[in-house]
């Protein structure tokens, strides 16, 4: 019987397994499109949701990608974070830039499984939660992990983003 799983979730699942990820992949209702709604559906605090935010360095359209995994309870202070990671300036990436560098769509960007490596930074605030939930390659899919596992899976650098 052919799989009905979205190809982006299948790609994530394969990469997650290849990297030794132990978490569970969960499909959420399509209506869950914010960290607060995802937290409600999962029965966790909004701070335990790891938002995958892609930025581009510099203010022109040719900047390099930077992925920041931040707690759903935080907003990224782009000026302070740019200074902390030595990026000069950070600007939110548009949907085309996100798709080009991650192979995924905004709202479903996973921390792993991109066409090419993307420098990744992990919000230290997420370490306060025993279980963290992050996107699994599709806006309706998330996976459970721990802070330490997420750090290991991504090879991220820890950073304070607020």
Domains in the chain, start-ordered, CATH in brackets? Answer: 22-159 (3.90.960.10)
The whole model's pTM is what?
Answer: 0.92
Given this model, what pLDDT does residue 1 score? Answer: 44
Given this model, what pLDDT does residue 33 score? Answer: 79
What average pLDDT does this structure show over 113-129?
A: 96
Whole-angstrom distance, CA of residue 83 vs CA of residue 42: 34
pLDDT bin (cut points 50, 70, 90) of residue 2 is low
Residue written as tokens 């750090």?
151
Is residue 106 within 8 Å of 98, Cβ to Cβ?
Answer: yes
| Degrees to nearest 5, angle at CA 40 with 38 and 46 | 70
Burial class (CB in 10 A: 0-12, 13-18, 19+), 78: middle
What mean pLDDT is reported for the chain? 92
Take residue 65 and report the two structure tokens written for it.
């990608």
**Considering the chain, what percentage of its residues have pLDDT values greater than 90?**
82
């Amino acid at each position: 019987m052919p799989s009905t799983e979205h190809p982006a979730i299948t790609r994530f699942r394969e990469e997650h397994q290849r990297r030794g990820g132990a978490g569970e992949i969960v499909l959420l209702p399509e209506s869950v499109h914010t960290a607060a709604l995802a937290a409600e559906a999962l029965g966790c605090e909004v701070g335990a949701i790891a938002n995958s935010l892609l930025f581009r360095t510099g203010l022109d359209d040719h900047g390099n990608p930077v992925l920041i995994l931040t707690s759903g309870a935080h907003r990224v202070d782009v000026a302070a974070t740019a200074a902390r990671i030595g990026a000069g300036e950070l600007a939110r990436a548009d949907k085309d830039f996100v798709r080009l560098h991650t192979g995924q769509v905004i709202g479903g960007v996973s921390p792993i499984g991109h066409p090419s490596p993307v420098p990744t930074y992990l919000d230290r605030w997420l370490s306060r939660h025993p279980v963290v939930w992050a996107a699994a390659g599709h806006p309706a899919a998330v996976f459970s992990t721990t802070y330490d596992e997420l750090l290991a899976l991504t090879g991220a650098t820890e950073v304070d983003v607020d």
